Structure 1
Amino acid sequence: MPNTYVVSLVIAGGISLALAVVGLRRSEAVGSRWFVLLLTSIAVWCLGNAVRYGQTDPEAFLFWYRVSRFGAQTAVALGLVFVLAYAGYDRWTRWPRVGLFVVPPLAMLTVVWLAPSIIWADTTVVRESPVLVMDFTYTPLFSAWYFLQYAQIAITLGVLVMVASRDQRLYRLQALTMLGGVMVPVFGNLLWWFGVSPVEHLDLSPFLLLVTGVSFAVSLFSFELLRVLPVARHTLVAEMQDGFVALDDDGRIVDANAAMAGILQRSMNDLVGEQFSAVVPDGGNGNTAERYPEDVVVTVAGERRHFDMRRTYVSENSDRTDQLLVFRDITARRRAEKRHSRLVEESSDLVTVFDHEGVIEYVSPSVRGVLGYNPNAIRRNSVEQFTHPEDRDRVWADIETVLSDPGGSVTFEHRLRRADGSWCLVESKARNLVEDPVIGGIVVNSRDITVREDRKRQLEAQNERLERFTSVVSHDLRNPLGVATGYLELGRQTGEDAAFEEVNDALKRMDRMIQDLLTLAREGRTIDDKHPVDLESVAREAWEAVPDSTGHLLVDVSDTVTADRQRLRELFENLFRNSVEHGSTNSRSETGDAVEHGSTNIRAGPDDPPGVSVTLGETPGGFFVEDDGPGIPPEKRDAVFEFGHTSTESGTGFGLSIVSRIAEAHGWSVTLTESDAGGARFEFETDGTTGGVGEDRPEPESVMDD
């Protein structure tokens, strides 16, 4: 039946269960699982006794006594494990060490349930009211077990006293509250053990667990138990991965952890008592007047390693200078920084950092190779003064877009001024890192794409030529081929020679077109082999190679030009052929005689039919070729240099294109004007770096390629 004893035990058990539930909700806290198991054991202890003291039958009393013993014996062991976890001695709360505390009570409980006679020799009912009380005659094994339990309790109390002696007020309150909650039931149990309990033959410790539950509740809710826990020295020092050294005022090592011993490849016993300056020469000698370096280099097993050394002065006595030094290995970071610095220095890309006003704060060493500047010379200057005036507004608009988007980026192309005054085209990617505490600005990575863009233009020109060649092969060659095929069939049917002559003319035209196409393909390439060439001799050879040249060539040059002789001859041949094919028969004098002009006079005979007169002469910057033919109208002068342009049925339309390509391959410019006689005049400008008439000038790098 219910009585005061039973009610007090039920209340204590209920409080313990409620606190266990709170511990479950704080499962992330250190030691929470041991806290839950401890409070559960106390609840079993209290509730088992509540049921036991509510029994009237001795057998039922003994059964529930065994249940309560399960809670009592495990509570002692779990209490010790929880206090060790609470104080920061984590290594004693992991297997196999924790087995030293929990295995013995479990073994004892097994004996209590399976062979209780080993624990108590006899039982006697000594009271039946108000609660049933039985007296046990215990064996020596129980006395030994009782001593072991009190040894665990003594350790528990000692750890709590140690925590309570710390300076932190919160830790003291936590430990003192739990200390009181443990000592009250222990005191009641000792009264029973020594036979001086206020209630004869009654162990009051289960009833006093109500005080334990209340004290744990106060510590849990008022003093943040399971939220703020003290940490043992071995957790902070002995098990920390950073090296730790304590120095006295003479600079001697008085303490060190295992990490520091590993760093120095020494045992902790060897370190203690050594002068710190002898062990770590780069770390100072312990004199407070000396400025200690932050980075310390220690040679470990022949390898130089970098450490970030932090120090704290801990002496309360102003006459002492005790120090704590913490070493953190930053070798990997230093290597990464050095690698990054080397990559930036060796990179061909340009890295620039400037503020929101465009003032350059950093520029990578690659600026020497990209733009030719010394990095120090352009820092603190505005980026605008290095940007092409036509690009400034567009570039700054992109920068403002990035400034409005922290962490954003934008890619754009613009021109930068080199140290020699020339401009290079770069592709830049700007990123907003103004909010980055390390960078604090706009970072721009720039890559010189001048060569790439030149190559792109070359490829576009090459593709254009290929398209034109394809057009010629598919269209222009098809016309004479069709003519030849038609007349060949006609010749087979009629046998007339005129048809076969037409076939022969068509095949010759095709041969001319094929030769011109091959010449065009070759002339698209740059010229690598140039030498001084005599213009007069090359012009004479070219004129003699022109078929049906009934006209006149007048040469008024006596000097040389730096060129490829064979390709210069091809240039003259195409010019002369163009003049002959398009020249007027009325360009001769009435007598048919050519007029003396210059050093060379190629005359037609008195019986020769009239022909065109072609003149080769010098200009201040090069040479010219002109004729006295009908000339070319101004509106058509640009078109004559295009592929396939011709005004006659027999022409291929490639002659002047070949002339233009050969001139470009030499680095010359060609201009079509009108001669004094009204014919065509082609002027070639060879002055400059490519070499002009009368001098062997150096050749520039050509951007033309086939």
Structure 2
Amino acid sequence: MVAVVATSVLIAVLIAVSVVASYGFAWYSWARVDHPVSDRFALLMLTNGTWALFTLAGMLSPTDAIATRWSAPTAIISLLAVTAWFLFVVEYTGDSRWLPSLVERLVVGEVLVYAVLYVLNPADLVTVEYGVGHYGILRLPYEELGLLADGQLLYVYVLLGVSFVFLGRFFLRTRNLYRKQAGIILAVTLLVTLANAAFFAGITPHPRLDLTPIFYLVQTVGIGLALYRYDFLNVVPLAANTLLEEIDDPVFVVDQDGLIADRNPAAASYIEAGIDRPTLSDVTIDGLDTVLRPCDGGTTNLEVTTPHRDGDRLTTVVYDVRTTPISDRYDIVRGYTVVLRDVTDREAHKQALATQNERLEEFTGIVSHDLRNPLQVVDGKIELARQTGDLSHLDDASDAVDRMETMLEELLHLAREGQTIDEKAEVDLESACRAAWGVVGTETATLVVETDTTVVADGTRLRQVFENLFRNAVEHGGEDVTVTVGSFDGGFYVADDGPGIPEGARGDIFELGVTSESDGTGFGLAIVERIVEAHGWTIDYTDSEDGGARFEVTDLYPSVLTER
């Protein structure tokens, strides 16, 4: 007897908790009236909570007569709860788009008509008699059903079956977040239905004890989990037609809070395993979350250049990023899709064509202008040798020919450096500097390397950059010059303690043919700039701390945003 009383008290407490939880979620959902699903979920929670409240009121009534009076409102509100469930499901699954609105009105109208018949109870077609059972401290009002009530009960289970078909179909055709949502809602509501079926089958601690309101607590908490954890009132199943499973490019569906609600198989490798609720900052593309922004309308196209690790190899990849807002059928923006397309090869090809065209123009200009002077010298000196018979003029002509050969070699070298660079990999700056110094350095000059930075580059071309910069330092700073290589945030520098470059001559130091040496070609720094730019970097000149020249290379690890 004590155990029965304790169990009855526990049942009353659980039903009371169910009432509070249902009304709490009803209030929360109704406060989010920006979407019809929230309204219908609130209605479902309200009817569930009221059913549990009426049941508790009957159970705790002071007399059997009062308990019996709660039977009619409890029965009617239970039917309203089933109707609210059906309306919620068709809206949540999107079946309301094809289901005629007349069907929903008929479902609501049917329960209202039955409520009137229940109150009138013509010829005892609804209820035959009322009674009250007892279990511990609880009074259990009940009623013997008539033929009309039996038919209504069959209709209720058919309506529940149809809603489960809708929800089950939605569960099977969705993935990831939406499948979790639908699975939770389906599971907890099946428990409620089974509890109600167990009552009518007499499989309860007391044949008159309906435990369905207790299982409302399970349903409320379960759907509440979907509400808070998966936020289906904010990110409803809108991406089914937007997200194409067959697309080869990575596709992410992002909600208004920046959480990745869904993704296609191609995007799975871009998110580290084990992250339960990933955001764009968890995507393995540096800077993607900073350059993207939610869009309320229209499609945005961006280009992002970023380092990307492929196994043990670090490369630079260019992505075309297409961001499209997702709006529901009520024109409310719920999130956006992000489609990534690797356009590294395309951009490299475009850059190569642009570079080739630029080099062709430069080459044409140099051939037509810079080579003309030594050709005129050769022509003039040969003519003088013919006229005077003085063969020393041929020495001057030979020097001019040597000058042209040097210029042609530099031009060919420049043309090669202007081509697309080879495959890039991680290169240790110190090793590249030492290798270049071995080619250029003198016995009296000094190299100081103050960096352990690693960059993504074509190693051969990077060594050429250092060779030309070191050669420039030695030629202009003297054979006892000290050259220092260091790094700073986002770049590295090459500095010397020579005389530097006069301020008035700094503007065109990277131009072809600009040199302060009488026997120089002016191609060295131009080649440096071409190689640096081919890597996507930037080079600038400034004074070193010792007053000499300092060349700074920046933008080594870009996350470049280009809006198109």
Q: TM-score, normalised by structure 2?
A: 0.39
User: Highest Rg: 1 or 2?
Assistant: 1
Q: TM-score, normalised by structure 1?
A: 0.32
Q: Which has the higher contact order (CA 8 A, sep 6+)?
A: 2
